[in-house]
Amino acid sequence: MEHCKYIKDLERSNEWSVLRIMSDFVKGFDELKDLGPSVTFFGSARFDSENPYYKQANLLARMLGKKGYAVVTGGSAGIMEAANKGAYEVRDHKHCESVGLNISLPSEQAGNKFTTKSLTFDYFFVRKVMLVKYSIAYVIFPGGFGTLDEFFEALTLVQTHKVAKISIFLVGKSYWEKLFDFILTTMVEHNTIKKEDVELITFTDDLEYISKEIDNSLVLHLNELKNFGLDHTNYYKRAMEFLSNQQ
């Protein structure tokens, strides 16, 4: 059975596990290092193509893909498929990448067919690193426990300055409003977060606004790289070339 390989992992040495983890990271770094400015989409795998959120994710990905942004997802169905499909369908316009980063599960998670680059990881935490490492913005559509995990992981990384100040967009006001209100009131009132931490989240359904704000995020990101003396890196040079092509 498929889950047997995970049970057998418990019998192997810690050294073997470390090698598998390293292999996952090396694969991701090697395949994604030249990706350029990217946006990661998170959301449920359970929505079909008639779902309004599926259609929104598809439209936003098309808008970003036409500008040349790479679109990164978890590589499965639902919101992930919608975003990959949006970028895939306009890939010839700006040669944008549609990236799917899947996970190997006991009950295999199916990938979608709308990717120009597809990777499968053994470890969730490695996959999450790859989902956030190369992107200048995260767009969170409605989803379940996995989406919540990814949303709060992204917030924590930005709040604690473990990554640059990435833009985080929460899409689906009717779906998220109770959670956002909990963050805005209960968490702030109990001083478990600061009021300014809420400003890390942009809560909107305006796709045009999100697209423009992502452009602004790229400019800020490049300025930050320059301030840290990283304007000699290949990433900075590629991103500057990308930006000049937008103007």
pLDDT, tens digit, for every residue of 66-79? Answer: 999 999 999 999 99
**What are the tens digits of pLDDT across the range 171-197?**
999 999 999 999 999 999 999 999 999
User: Structure tokens of 126?
Assistant: 């490695």
Q: Which residues of 166-186 are buried (b: 16+ CB within 10 A; e: fewer)?
A: bbbbbbbeebbeeeeeebbee
User: What distance in Å separates the CA atoms of residue 37 and residue 70, rounded to the nearest whole number?
Assistant: 6
Contacts of 162 (CB under 8 A, 6+ apart): 156
List the domains of the chain with CATH numbers. 39-246 (3.40.50.450)
- pTM more than 0.85: yes
User: Cα-Cα-Cα-Cα dihedral of 112, 117, 121, 126, to 10°?
Assistant: -120
Question: Could you tell me what percentage of the chain is helix, strand and coil, using 3-state DSSP and rounding each to the nearest 5?
Answer: 55, 15, 30
